[in-house]
Amino acid sequence: MILVTKLMNGNEAAALAVKLCKAQVVCAYPITPQTSLVENIAEMWATGNFPGEYISVESEYSALSYVVGAAYAGARTFTATSSQGLAYMHELLHWASGARLPIVLVNVNRALGAPWSLEPDQGDSLSQRDTGWIQLYCSNVQEIMDTVILAFRLAEEARTPCMVVYDGFTLSHTYEVVDFPNQEEVDQFLSPPPQEALFHPSRPETIQSVTDYRYLARVVQAGHRAMLQVPDALKKIGRSFSRIFGRDYFLLKETGLEEAKTVFVATGAIAQTVESFLPLLDGEEVFGYLQLKLFRPLPEKEIITAFSRENIEKLIIIDRNLSRGMGGIFAQEIRALLQGTAFRGKIFELNLAGGIDLTLELLQRGMAKVAEQKDGDEKIIWGVDL
């Protein structure tokens, strides 16, 4: 293993990972803050440094339609978007998962309007929770590069489309030092791109024709079972990744859970921010931290095991997203999951919806409110008080 380190931002890392994975058909439509990702691919393609085809189309709807078509034919495909663009792709997200097409899509989190905003709210990707896509959330630039590579293998093995998600600007435009994988390593990890069409007119067949519940129910259940196998598949793929690249990957990342009374739970860039704040928090108390990476499917077994420790009294779940009238989406998912388990603690929600940045001062204020919260108080502790 020859270690090459490079300074790059999240969008550059994703673009280079797509190149290393030898995606055969890349089709996209530009949208802030995803734009520099597709510009990077376009630049490599225009100068003969990209192994596949790159097509710039007239909308996100057509971008995902295009890769659905290319994936129907059997090609390795990639697209990327943000925010309104992901919402515009919605119909095709369902089609891709229904057809079990192993498409990899990067979504750079950005709030959905109205009003217009460029803030890194996670509502865009989380509102696609039920489209049948695997979602992997990244917390730094290294993780973006590695997760895109993992995603191609995971999508192809699970025959399920996979969305790689990271925060707009905070990760897409922030430069970090990245261990840069070389082509031989990636070729060792990922099978070569397909070289055979999945159909030919000489073998007549009709694909995705209209059907009734008897067949549709089987399609739906098969998709569900494939999803349930994703945590174990990702662990296996993660072990292979560690052997080749020397970095460990995980369904979730935990620190200090053996002793902590209070555990923070977060995703994306916020997770790494929380991790970096832990040593700076005052007092004697030992805090724990859990970063969710795989969401859809939520790794049930691993989360329940992690939170069933008797020492854990409080979970503070930090959501940079909101299901209006309910609360932070990760918080609701974890509440539901922990019902009837050995977890005996209380769950608190610190909500940063609207794209609020987490500062140390804000985290401390949130913790003070957690300490004061009584039964009957509003469930959500807001990052910004009205």
Partner 1 sequence: MGNTVFEETLVGKIEQDEFMLSGHNACPGCGAALTVRLMMKALKDRAVIVIPASCWSIISGVNPLRCLETVVLHCPFPAAAAVGSGIKKGLLAVGDQDTQVVILAGDGGTFDIGLQGLSGAAERNEDILFVCYDNEAYMNTGMQKSSATPYGSASTTTPAPRIKPNPKKDIMAIMAAHQIPYAATATIAFPQDLISKVNRAIDLKGFRFLHILAPCPQGWGSPVEKTVTLSRLAVLTRIFPLFEIEDGKRYRLTYHPSVHLPLENYFGLQKRFSSLGPREVEQARENVDYYWGELCRKSGCSEDCCRYS
Question: Is residue 316 a contact point for partner 1 (CB under 8 A)?
Answer: no
Spatial separation of the C-alpha atoms in residues 222 and 217, rounded to whole Å: 8
Spatial separation of the C-alpha atoms in residues 322 and 188, rounded to whole Å: 41
CB of 229 to partner 1, least distance (A): 25
What does residue 262 show for φ and ψ, rounded to 5 degrees? -115, 130
Which position among 48, 114, 209, 385 is part of the footprint of partner 1 (CB under 8 A)?
209
CB of 84 to partner 1, least distance (A): 15
Residue whose CB is less far from partner 1, 75 or 298: 75
Site map 10..49 versus partner 1, x via CB under 8 A: --------------xx-x----------------------
Spatial separation of the C-alpha atoms in residues 83 and 321, rounded to whole Å: 13
Question: Is residue 78 a contact point for partner 1 (CB under 8 A)?
Answer: no
From the list 109, 125, 144, 106, the residue with the least C-alpha distance to 28 is 106
Residue whose CB is less far from partner 1, 55 or 233: 55
Identify residues 88-117 at the interface with partner 1 (CB under 8 A): 91-92, 95
Give the DSSP H or E segment for 371: helix 360-372
> Residues binding partner 1: what is the number (CB under 8 A)?
47
CB of 104 to partner 1, least distance (A): 15
Identify residues 365-384 at the interface with partner 1 (CB under 8 A): none
Spatial separation of the C-alpha atoms in residues 97 and 94, rounded to whole Å: 5
CB of 162 to partner 1, least distance (A): 18
Question: Is residue 52 a contact point for partner 1 (CB under 8 A)?
Answer: yes
Tokens read off for 150: 């993992």
Whether 6 contacts 180, CB under 8 Å: yes
Residues 6+ apart with CB under 8 A from 56: 27, 28, 29, 30, 38, 42
Spatial separation of the C-alpha atoms in residues 89 and 76, rounded to whole Å: 19
Spatial separation of the C-alpha atoms in residues 384 and 362, rounded to whole Å: 9
Question: Is residue 74 a contact point for partner 1 (CB under 8 A)?
Answer: yes
Whether 262 contacts 289, CB under 8 Å: no
Residue whose CB is less far from partner 1, 77 or 147: 77
Which position among 7, 177, 197, 220 is part of the footprint of partner 1 (CB under 8 A)?
197
CA distance from start to end of the chain? 53
Identify residues 213-232 at the interface with partner 1 (CB under 8 A): 215
Identify residues 53-72 at the interface with partner 1 (CB under 8 A): 53, 55, 57-59, 61-63, 65-72
User: Which stretches of the chain bind partner 1, using CB under 8 A?
Assistant: 24-25, 27, 52-53, 55, 57-59, 61-63, 65-75, 77, 91-92, 95, 193-197, 199-212, 215
